[in-house]
Amino acid sequence: MDLNFTPADQAFRAEVRAFLATELPPEIARTVLEGRHPSREDTVRWHRILHRHGWGGPSWPREHGGTGWGPVQQYIFEEECAAAGAPRLLPFGLKMVGPVIMAFGNEAQKKRFLPRILSAEDWWCQGYSEPGAGSDLASLKTRAERRDGHYLVNGQKTWITLAQHADWIFCLVRTDPAAKPQAGISFLLVDMRSPGVTVRPIITMDGGHEVNEVWFEDVQVPVENLVGEENKGWTYAKFLLGHERTNIAGVGISKREMQRLRRIASLERKHGRPLLDDPLFGTRLAQVEIELMALEITNLRVVSAEAERRAPGPEASLLKIKGTEIQQAISEMMMQAVGPYALPFREEAVETGEAGEPVGPTYAAPLAATYCNMRKTSIYGGSNEIQKNIITQMILGL
């Protein structure tokens, strides 16, 4: 297994870097590099810039309008985008429901949904988790009863990221309540504008509105919005989760944030010297950097396997666990670096000038919100405890 980049790979990296230097709007990059959340408009704007250039689907095959890039090119593209401060392309359409529709959807669904994902005309969200059915997803209770030419959906989904912006939601629903937990589940595509769909915000501890509850009350969903076969949704869910967990690792973003941490530590002082020179802080920083290097090597091994048409196995769970732990460690060290200047604040007030200038250095302002927000990473996409169980079963056979 050769983990070195070829001359062709390096030339591709140079092409991506040059494109980002000329096409990425600087005000959007500044928002990302300063640790603030890009708006819906900024995210869509960047996606459409890429789409006009033919890069709107970095992980998609050419037959569906994508770039046709291999896993190595996709890795390089995501790493360079992260380093430049490009908003992360929303995974719900491009990396979750899109691949499911390609693999298991019919031709009508491919023609209807895929082009609108690619052009950012449709914003998707993921309807998996429910109260009492998060990591234990198979215990979900949202019902879909078939009535003539439609399904009647009733139930609740929770922790639905950015549902307040979404046009569509892909849902796991129970279509056979008498079947075993993993059986009797189907994969439905639901228009968020349908009568009976209600989105209720969940305000998180950082003061942000990122996640929501979504309620379904007698929502009619056409039968043609069923992906694949009825009661086979668990198969499609597992296919999707493999993509999601690998994506959560976020190596490129962690490398960018590590550089940001280093800049902050070089500006903050302890006993008259830069914090970066403090032995205790430096030791912890070096430890996290080493872990990030090891994670990157593991990620490159997965990329190499994918290039050889081998699907990731327990490595996806390893990437998810270690990737999220590193993200949390970096955000925690940023908080430690600035001390009391990282006290929580209302981000929207600072951005609009309502609260005046933030106390302390401007780079400290978003750090509390980032730290709080990062607590969730070890839970979503299947909690890290569940991932350890998967690794135990797949590697040790226990």
**What amino acid positions are annotated as catalytic residues?**
244
CB contact set of 263 (below 8 Å; sequence gap of 6+): 363
Helix, strand, coil percentages, rounded to 5, for the chain:
55, 15, 30
Mark residue 108 as left, alpha or beta (left: phi above 0; alpha: psi -120 to 50; beta: remaining): alpha
Pinpoint the alpha helices (H) of 85-186. 91, 98-104, 107-118
Nearest of 126, 247, 264, 254 to residue 187 by alpha carbon: 126
Residue 226 phi/psi, 5-degree rounding, is: -80, 125
* Residue 250, CA distances (Å) to 79, 168, 178, 186, 194 in order: 9, 25, 39, 30, 34
Q: Residue 48 forms beta bridges with which residues?
A: none
Task: Print burial letters for 262-290: b (CB count within 10 Å at least 16), e (below 16).
Answer: eebbeebeeeeeebbebeebeeebeebbe
Cβ atoms of 51 and 119 within 8 Å: the answer is: yes
Report the Cα–Cα distance between both ends of the chain, in Å, rounded: 29
| DSSP 8-state secondary structure symbol assigned to residue 232 | -
Cα 176 versus chain centre, distance: 30
